[in-house]
Structure 1
């Protein structure tokens, strides 16, 4: 037994030593990492969040100024153009759609051609069909989730072909946070409904205190080069001609028509017990859509790899370049500068490019720097790039996304959203250990952050991806970073106050950029491609 224990300890020691050797960076890389400049990060944020860029809304002069700035910076750092036709750019045609003349009526069961007030529902515009008129029987399909591998299927034994499904947004409590975020995303709900033969989706509002979305400013989608809808959060195919939301009172009325109560249904669904049924209700819906098309751009640059084979594979570093533009004034300011969201993320990518400029021997795989448009409109630029990349999609091995790092305090711990699904967790752990950072689970699972930024677009195309956010550790040992972030978020997030005069910790910005560089570098140097964990929900992608 003593010999066995000694042998076991010897093997573990050797294993740990080998692991440590894998983390040993060259003097060149260590030197380049130390050259990351907090002052340069501040300078990049200052320019991108300046009032003269007017919030960097896609298709505006301010957004073009941001494009010109990052292209100039990448050129100066020796990055090569990797967009369309050997340029720096990928065109993204965004369609802004508005709903007009919506009418929703109930025509069977206890309802006799009941025309509903338009404050009881919201019908999302259709980016592909300017005039829609449809009708169908209504079926309640729980959360609208089909995941047999997780032991849950709202559509089991339910016939929804040619019908309109009524769902409530959510996921069973047993689902991990990132899985829940994926299954309850509107795009996934629409996709699953279409796969089961539904012709429309109605989303029931299950919270009496919540208001329906205000869509008066329009809903964006992306068109491909043949003007077909390529990316959308509210449209899936011509088969699903209607997507709408109904308020709490109407939702309850519809459930009540089948003798059901929302409280009973919710308790079943949260417990992971599918509870679906037909409603004795028919629905008539008609509406029109009008469009405004806007041309925007993704910026794509490449740092060529050095391995004769692996250089044709790519590690993607992504960040969104857009923000909300000019909007409703708050405290006398109407320019939504987006200093943290996401000038800081763009500055981090530029810092990563500077690290690579200072490295004499580039990594084995190539590096793609992708600055995307339309994130604030639903991850549209990244969705288009991931689906129609300027390099072969099968050659993109991973995406490390940077969105609003929240550099307002020292960076002591992190959470890597999405890394738990793939082997990327190994590189995250190695990089974090090297920089003295601990790795924690998502501290805010209810925020569904995994699907709310551009890494999700790559996941949907089967590419392992992650997004680094702050963990809970604080310098005073209270480890209550969430409590610090909450008032900051309330004051600055998606408000004109998010400018360079807000709260920043540029040393934290330096460490954040170093971490993201190191994760990507370790992936680029590893002979093995990142892989999904066996049996993972995203492995099938």
Structure 2
């Protein structure tokens, strides 16, 4: 899409808790918008998705090649280093944990009769990331969906004392919850943190089926002292157990306690808690082993122009990693990740050039972070969010870029998460300038707001958003989501997602311009972005700091 031939600058007017932007002429901005070249975006994608990088798996030479490429691009553009020790890099210590095959799990009923459960058939255990040997004896309590949200009129823990117990959870959310709130409520770390806050020592969850997949290791990221900073299977060493039960075994557990599963599940969906203490006791013993390795976030900076506001930062993120070499599909085993997420990295590299070329920098500073371990569970961004390279209180917003899906002309966008904060205003203004419509999420069932790196910053209380494609199409059918679904079935998380796939690099140009215009407005505004007072995330985003 061609940018309208208009010269402008941004003037900001504070209106209550929100911010209204008015566009007025400034050649400074118009010129840098024209810097974006689709051929440059294509060149970045082709390099980062080349077979030589072997899928950019963290801790491998291919990932290092991707890091070196980003650093060289930052240096060539004049972007300042913002990593550790004057470098562009932030060390991220990763751990892959495994549970031993000799794990034992015994379940006793109210009469003390003990049954030994079968690993892989009745249950699977997630590894503990700090304790090589775990032994646990505890009683059980069913806490519905494991949600405690009294501000929404719903609390599975109301009236329950689960201190020292293992809570039993059927993952879900009331149908009345908005999609992003439901997705956050069902997030594994949210469930675990809620259990921890109520004194539980473990969590048993229901599988959606009777077939349990064997875990081939679970990933986490560690602090320098060895403690776990972020993990996919527990949030504190006080949580001793995370187990997944087959659907049959889980339902049997409730039935044996006199609970009608169909009534219980219908009640939870309707927003009526159905929690109850269970008469069972468990005894669990398992061992854990570890593989430790290092990776890096790559971070650059453009210093702002205002003497006071330059100490505050607008943070752009995109994940640099992908899945490496894995199961062959149609004879190819290299998971190149061209769309996911070489395309997002390419857009951020062009944004860094735009800011570097600005004759007058915005008032606030800009951070550009290419993070590691997203495909392992948002690990690089989780670490950056809890151990930022600048004071945490000085990060005013996060704008994330993950798989923008550049396969057709960009005519409309979805701003995931923007509805929860004043970030919606700069999105609206930037989109209007580029003649883009802003639409609601066409695929709320995908839970995309909590599935990429912006969620790491939301959890730390930082307003964040993620720009994705909308539904508008050139033929007026406005059903791009169907095309994307077809594309996803062929390419997503498959070796076929390489640089020879479907691409519209002109759409990449517009996408880059849009994200730049959003962050520029935030960087220029004297008022910080804020959560909308009624937003679920305004009350809950920082609950697990």
Q: Structure 1 length as normaliser, TM-score?
A: 0.94
Report the Cα distance in structure 2 between the residues aligned to 1:527 and 1:290, rounded to whole angstroms. 50
* Correspondence list, 1:3-18, <5 A: none
Deviates more, 1:107-116 or 1:50-59: 107-116
Q: Which residue of 2 aligns with 1:177?
A: 179
User: 1:182 touches 1:188 (CA, 8 Å); kept in 2?
Assistant: yes
Instruction: Let me know the Cα RMSD of the aligned residues.
Output: 1.4
> 1:290 aligns to what SS in structure 2?
strand
Aligned residue pair count: 521
Q: Contact 1:199 / 1:239 at 8 angstroms: preserved in 2?
A: yes
Q: How does 1:459-470 map to 2 (within 5 A)?
A: 459-470=458-469
**CA separation of 1:110 and 1:41: change in aligned 2, threshold 3 A:** farther
Match in the other structure for 1:26: 26
Q: Paired residue for 1:126? A: 128
Deviations 1:172-191 (A, max 9, x none): 11111111111110001000
Residue 69 of structure 2 corresponds to which residue in structure 1?
Answer: 69
Aligned-residue offset at 1:20:
8.8
Q: How far apart are the structure 2 equivalents of 1:58 and 1:522?
A: 34
CA distance in 2, matches of 1:142, 1:39: 52
Give matches, 1:179-218, under 5 Å.
179-205=181-207, 207-208=208-209, 211-216=211-216, 218=217
User: What residue number does 1:472 align with?
Assistant: 471
8 Å contact 2:21–2:429 — kept in the other structure? no
Unaligned runs of 5+ in 1: 1-14
Contact 2:324 2:335 in 1 (8 A): yes
Give per-residue Cα distances to partners, 1:65-103, cap 9 Å, x unaligned: 000000000111110000011111000000100111222
Q: 1:525-540, aligned counterparts within 5 Å?
A: 525-540=524-539
| Distance in 1 between residues matched to 2:351 and 2:129, nearest whole Å | 37
Partner of 2:520: 521
Which structure 2 segments of 5+ residues have no match?
1-14
Q: Which segment is superposed worse, 513-522 or 353-362?
A: 353-362
- Please name the residue that 1:8 is paired with: none
Matches within 5 A, 1:365-404: 365-404=364-403
Following superposition, the deviation at residue 116 of structure 1 comes to 1.1
CA distance in 2, matches of 1:78, 1:247: 54
What residue is the counterpart of 1:105 in the other structure?
106
Q: What is the CA-CA distance between 1:21 and the residue it aligns to?
A: 7.0
- TM-aligned CA deviation for residue 111 of structure 1: 7.1
Shift in CA distance, 289/364, structure 1 to aligned 2, threshold 3 Å: same
Find the residue that maps to 1:539 and give its secondary structure. helix
Correspondence for 1:52? 52
What do the CA deviations read for 1:130-177 (whole angstroms, capped 9, x no partner)?
110101111110110001111110000011111110101111111111
SS at match of 2:475: coil
Equivalent residue, structure 2, for 1:152: 154
Q: Show the counterpart of 1:350.
A: 349
- Quickly say closer, same or farther: Cα 1:519–1:258, change in 2 above 3 A: same
Q: Is the 8 A contact 1:126 1:289 kept in 2?
A: yes
Q: Tell me which residue corresponds to 1:89.
A: 89
Within a 5 Å distance, the mapping from 1:434-473 to structure 2 comes to 434-473=433-472
1:270-281 aligned at under 5 Å gives the runs: 270-281=269-280
- Asked if structure 2 preserves the Cα contact closer than 8 Å seen for 1:252 and 1:261, the reply is no
CA drift of 1:110 comes to 6.4
Task: State the 1:213 CA deviation.
Answer: 4.2
Report the counterpart of residue 259 of structure 1 in structure 2. Answer: 258
Measure the CA separation in 2 of the matches of 1:271 and 1:478: 35
Mapped to 2, the partners of 1:512 and 1:366 lie a distance apart of: 21
Q: For 1:31 and 1:534, how far apart are their aligned partners in 2?
A: 37
Give SS of 2:110's match. coil
Q: 301-310 vs 254-263, which deviates more?
A: 254-263
Give the drift of 1:359: 1.6
CA gap 1:465/1:20 in 2 versus in 1, 3 angstroms: closer
Map 1:395-434; keep pairs closer than 5 Å. 395-434=394-433
Which deviates the most, 297-306 or 19-28? 19-28
Which one has the bigger helix percentage?
A: 1
Deviation, 1:239, is: 1.3
Cα distance, 1:46–1:257 mapped onto 2, change above 3 Å: same
2:222 matched residue in structure 1: 223
1:473 Cα deviation (Å)?
Answer: 1.2
Q: Deviation at 1:108?
A: 2.2
Q: Are the equivalent residues in 1 in contact too, given 2:205–2:243 (CA < 8 A)?
A: yes
Shift in Å at residue 353 of structure 1? 1.1
Alpha-carbon distance in 2 for matches of 1:465, 1:81:
23
